[in-house]
């Protein structure tokens, strides 16, 4: 399936297919006329000697400097070179592929004044598997992600560096290998390539996509812990959630009822006299449900942004207007990414509390640290330490980036979003939460094994089979990092989620 871009209909799922699974990209025929009309406006403005920001003026605080006709092309090359000041490790290939797709899609809307060749060259790089080397750090998120997009654009003009067939080579060499001629930028095209929010939005789109999968694993792991800790199902009663009708809360409670249905373990303690459980068990729908609602909200923000025109100035071909504005400002994404980081952190916070209950014999009713040879064996004691460390790290990472602003360009750009920093932090939090959930799976599975011969629900039996296929029950101390990594792989491949969905149907709709 080829992903067709027209500036209007790109989805997060489309982006994932191109960025992560190398799906081919094609420009919609319906977009070409809009692109040509937009370019014609710029060319007429040049002929009429109209003053247009970024076309025949300098940039930022240098906007009052006029540029002569003979230097218009050089101006565009200079902005790409001068803005390529990123530092740090390179973004992952999938993030850069995502930003390339998003930049091509934004230009395809027909408000940027670039030639068709610019968009076609971006698409060729995607389809041939050439990925610019783009350092992670250096963007303040307004005027767009200037430094990251400049590094991306360097390769289009035959400069910079690129990854091609798992090798890091010069941009020109990469183009030569596949027969792409370096782009010769014309008026407006350099600034159009680097003015936008595509790096932060690419990170955000991939993080949102993965967050939905994480929520599915989080609710399964929480159900497994509830079962291992012999918790009550009363708090999942449909009537409780119906009178506080947050969509996410209702969805999580419903899924947990289905996952935990018809369990021998549950029947064994139905008359135990316990009235209610600790919050980390009782309030799973309220906590994970709130995070799910947040992720759904952020999905809407991202879906809007990936089909937006975000450069400056913008070209309106219906009346030959070239208007300077601020669509490059990353504030919508910055706030959303800070919110995502907070929402994901809470999933890990409550999971770590369940992990603690599982390993603590004073709370669990299970052998200390989930080993039958306590003292000689430490069991899963230190797994909780690791979860605690990850949760603590998330508390630091969840501090919002969007509340900070350091003026740039001699105070012309006096309020910036820091959106790329917010997005990078959210992505780091996401990885930490995945590890916490993997640890919870490991500990809860051990707890279930220690309750044998009692059986769990059919869904959770399938979960146990999936986990025990790659991680055996802990009987003697061993390094646990490989176990966590194997469970992470199950999560990445959707093995556990698929096992449950084969029993109860689709867990959650995005």
CATH number for 87: 1.10.275.10
The answer to the question of residue 75 being in a domain is yes
Provide the pLDDT for residue 272: 66
DSSP code of residue 9: -
Residue 320 lies in a domain: no
- Same domain for 359 and 253: yes
Q: Please check whether residues 166 and 217 belong to one and the same domain.
A: no
- The beta-strand segments (E) located in 216-326 are 314-316, 321-323
The reply to whether 375 and 444 lie within a common domain is yes
Dist. CA 207–CA 217, nearest whole Å = 15
> 288 in a domain, yes or no?
yes
Question: Is 309 among the domain residues?
Answer: yes
CATH number at residue 231: 1.20.200.10
- Residue 110 main-chain phi, psi, to 5 deg: 85, 30
Given a cut of 80, is residue 344 above it in pLDDT? yes
Asked if 109 and 134 sit in the same domain, the reply is yes
The answer to the question of residue 509 being in a domain is: no
- Average pLDDT of the chain to the nearest whole number: 95
Same domain, 294 and 237: yes
Q: Does the structure show a pLDDT above 80 at 64?
A: no
Domain-terminating residue out of 145, 171, 196: 196
Tell me the mean pLDDT in the region 364-382: 92
The answer to whether the CB of 301 falls within 8 A of the CB of 336 is yes
**Domain identity same for 268 and 352:** yes
In a domain, 461, yes or no: yes
Kindly state whether residue 395 falls inside one of the protein's structural domains.
Answer: yes
Residue 274 in this model has a pLDDT that exceeds 80: no
In this structure, the answer to whether residues 261 and 159 fall within a common structural domain is no
Q: Where are the beta strands (DSSP E) in 298-452?
A: 314-316, 321-323
State the Cα–Cα distance between residues 344 and 293, nearest whole angstrom. 11
171 and 262 assigned to the same domain: no
List residues with catalytic annotation: 53
The domain tally of the chain equals: 2
Nearest alpha-carbon partner for 133 in 118, 153, 119: 153
Average of per-residue pLDDT across 470-478: 96
Instruction: Confirm whether 321 is domain-assigned.
Output: no
Q: Are residues 188 and 237 in the same domain?
A: no
pLDDT value of residue 273? 67
Least confident of 1-5, 61-65, 94-98, 128-132: 61-65
Half-sphere exposure at residue 460, Cβ-oriented, CA atoms within 13 angstroms: 33
Is the pLDDT at 152 greater than 70? The verdict is yes
Query: Could you give the CA distance from residue 161 to residue 183 in angstroms, rounded to a whole number?
Result: 15
Q: What is the pLDDT of residues 426-457, one digit of tens each?
A: 999 999 999 999 999 999 999 999 999 999 99
CB 196 within 8 A of CB 417: no
303 shares a domain with 254: yes
Kindly tell me if the per-residue pLDDT of 139 is higher than 90.
yes
Q: Count H helices and E strands in the chain, helices first.
A: 21, 9
CB-based contact 300:388 (threshold 8 Å) = no
CB 125 within 8 A of CB 93: no
Domain boundary among 173, 196, 219: 196
**pLDDT grade for 61, boundaries at 50, 70 and 90:** low
Domain stop point among 196, 217, 243: 196
Q: Are the C-beta atoms of 124 and 181 separated by less than 8 Å?
A: no
Whether residue 394 is found in the same domain as residue 471: yes
Query: 129 near 165, Cβ under 8 Å?
Result: yes
Cis peptide upstream of residue 25 (ω within 30 degrees of 0): no
Report, as an integer, the average pLDDT of 351-358. 98
Residue 352 contacts residue 388 (beta carbons within 8 Å): yes
Whether 227 and 332 map to the same domain: the answer is yes
Q: Between 221 and 55, name the one with better pLDDT.
A: 221
Range of the structural domain that residue 138 is part of: 3-196
């Amino acid at each position: 399936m080829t992903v067709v871009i027209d500036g209007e209909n790109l989805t997060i799922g489309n982006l994932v297919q191109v960025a992560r699974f190398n799906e081919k990209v094609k420009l919609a025929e319906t977009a070409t006329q809009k692109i040509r009309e937009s370019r014609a406006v710029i060319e007429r403005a040049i002929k009429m000697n109209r003053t247009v920001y970024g076309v025949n003026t300098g940039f930022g605080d240098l906007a009052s400097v006029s540029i002569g006709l003979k230097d218009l092309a050089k101006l565009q090359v200079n902005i790409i070179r001068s803005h390529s000041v990123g530092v740090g490790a390179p973004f992952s290939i999938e993030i850069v592929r995502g930003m390339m797709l998003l930049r091509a899609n934004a230009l395809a809307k027909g408000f940027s004044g670039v030639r068709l060749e610019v968009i076609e060259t971006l698409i060729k790089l995607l389809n041939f598997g050439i990925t610019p080397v783009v350092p992670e750090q250096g963007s303040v998120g307004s005027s767009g992600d200037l430094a990251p997009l400049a590094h991306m654009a360097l390769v289009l003009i035959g400069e910079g560096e690129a990854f091609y067939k798992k090798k890091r080579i010069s941009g020109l060499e990469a183009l030569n290998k596949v027969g792409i001629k370096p782009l010769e930028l014309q008026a407006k095209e350099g600034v159009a390539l680097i003015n936008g929010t595509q790096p932060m939005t690419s990170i955000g789109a991939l993080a949102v996509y993965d967050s939905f999968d994480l929520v599915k694993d989080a609710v399964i792991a929480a159900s497994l812990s509830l079962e291992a800790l012999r918790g009550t199902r009363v708090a999942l009663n449909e009537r409780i959630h119906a009178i506080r009708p947050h969509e996410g809360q209702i969805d999580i409670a419903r899924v947990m009822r289905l996952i935990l249905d018809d369990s021998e373990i549950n029947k064994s303690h139905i008359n135990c006299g316990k009235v209610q459980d600790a919050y980390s068990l009782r309030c799973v729908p309220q906590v994970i449900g709130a995070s799910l609602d947040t992720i759904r909200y952020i999905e809407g923000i991202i879906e809007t942004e990936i089909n937006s025109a975000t450069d400056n100035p913008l070209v309106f071909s219906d009346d030959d207007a070239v208007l300077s504005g601020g669509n490059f400002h990353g504030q919508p994404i910055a706030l959303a990414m800070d919110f995502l980081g907070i929402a994901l952190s809470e999933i890990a916070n409550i999971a770590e509390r369940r992990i603690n209950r599982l390993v603590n014999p004073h709370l669990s009713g299970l052998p200390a640290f989930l080993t039958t040879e306590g003292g000689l064996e430490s069991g899963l004691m230190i797994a909780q330490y690791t979860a605690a460390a990850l949760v603590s790290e998330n508390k630091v990472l969840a501090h919002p980036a969007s509340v900070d602003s350091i003026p740039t360009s001699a105070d012309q750009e006096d309020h910036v979003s820091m959106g790329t920093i917010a997005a990078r932090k959210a992505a780091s939090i996401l990885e930490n939460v995945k590890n916490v959930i993997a640890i919870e799976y490991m500990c809860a599975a051990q707890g279930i094994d220690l309750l044998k011969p009692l059986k769990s629900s059919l869904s959770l039996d399938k979960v146990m089979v999936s986990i025990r296929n790659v991680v055996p029950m802990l009987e003697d101390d061993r390094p646990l990092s490989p176990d966590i990594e194997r469970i992470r792989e199950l999560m990445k491949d959707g093995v556990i989620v698929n096992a449950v969905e084969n029993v109860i149907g689709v867990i959650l709709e995005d």
